[in-house]
Amino acid sequence: MIDIKMAEALNKQINEELYSAYLYLSMSAYFETLGLNGFAKWMRIQSKEELGHAMKIYDYLIKQNAEVKLLQIKEPPHSWDSLTHAIEAAYEHEKYITGKINELVTLSENLNDRATNSFLQWFIDEQVEEEKNTYELLRKVKMAEKHVGALLTLDKQVGEREED
């Protein structure tokens, strides 16, 4: 059984991860309206990954015999000024999530909760990947944004992403 403070914080993180899923699904729908099917597919897969992150924490709380509380998910934006702005927002969001994971790690240390600390290591590593992936995407989008041909080639390439 884990400390109530740790369980509360993990429940909040489930909500953050579900919001991430919502945000990226909203971006996916926005990219569909731009006719960028590759980017839409990439974000749809990303949204599913976020749901997976939420479920990882959900399952951990159950394993620890702690209460799972599903909190209200806030409404994400429905559109952005451009593809670049949306990907920029995704990168900023990943940095925000990294901060949240770091706060959880600090709390687990303060509570001397080694099991949760160990559980969170997966998220620490995952956030390095998440930031790297969105940053690389942002750099490519910035290079291609002014050339329709380059953008369409990038859209095709981005759409080759497969689910893990």
Would you tell me which residues interact with ligand OFO (CB under 6 A)?
17, 20, 50, 53, 94, 97, 130
Q: What are the b/e assignments for 54-93, b being 16+ CB within 10 Å?
A: bebbbebbeebebeeeeeeeeebeeebeebeebbbbbbeb
Shortest Å, Cβ 147 to ligand OFO: 29
Q: Which residue is nearest to ligand OFO (CB)?
A: 20
The smaller minimum CB distance to ligand OFO, of residues 122 and 156, is found at 122
Q: How far is the CB of 54 from ligand OFO (least distance, A)?
A: 8
Of 108 and 134, which CB lies nearer to ligand OFO in the complex structure? 134
What is the residue type of 126? E
Nearer Cβ to ligand OFO (113/130)? 130
Query: What type of residue is 25?
Result: L
CB of 91 to ligand OFO, least distance (A): 10
Residue 51, both tokens:
């749901």
The residue among 21 and 151 lying less far from ligand OFO, judged by its C-beta, is 21
Measured at the CA of 127, the angle between CA 123 and CA 129, to 5 degrees, comes to 120
CB 70 within 8 A of CB 14: yes
Rounded to whole angstroms, the Cα distance separating 15 from 12 reads 5
Shortest CB 100 distance to ligand OFO, Å: 8
Least distance from C-beta 94 to ligand OFO, angstroms?
Answer: 5
Per the CB < 8 A criterion, the answer to whether 98 and 104 are in contact is: no
Return the number of the residue (50 or 155) whose C-beta is nearest ligand OFO: 50
